[in-house]
Amino acid sequence: MSPRTDEEKQYMSHVPYANVVGNLMYAMVSTSPDISHAVEVVSRFMANAGEEHWQAVKWVLWYLRGTSDHCIIFNGSEGSICGYVDVDYAGDLDKRRSTTGYVFALPGGAISWISKLQEIVALSTTEAEYIVASDANKEAI
């Protein structure tokens, strides 16, 4: 999906891809944990983004525009921390790495979350699940 022709390279040279992805990263960390996986995927192509990658970034922007009235509210009620984990086994077709994801929440909102490629290549879905469970346990502690 990276640009192959000179025309595609010329088009992408005028697109502020890295700038917009950087702004999406700021929004992800500050207010929108729901876009963390999408931002993680589009940021992989910062060095050589194509028109399809730019279209994906615009979809994330359209999603943010449509959900701008949504927010995280901490209501201060009693309760314990609740955590959720998941993994996409070998979802990255280039490196065959799995994508780790977890979120921890107090009643009313998320307090910690992550979506990233695992550092090693898992040989099975079970191994990928153990890796994400280990990472999430470290965060919980």
* Model pLDDT, residue 129: 94
**Confidence (pTM):** 0.62
Residues of the chain with pLDDT under 50: none
At residue 74, the 3 state secondary structure works out as: coil
**Residue 44: C-alpha distances to residues 13, 49, 72, 82, 141 (Å):** 17, 9, 27, 30, 30
**Interatomic CA distance for residues 9 and 125, integer angstroms:** 38
* Model pLDDT, residue 110: 79
In sequence order, the 6+-apart residues with CB closer than 8 A to the CB of 128 are: 87, 89, 90, 98, 118, 122
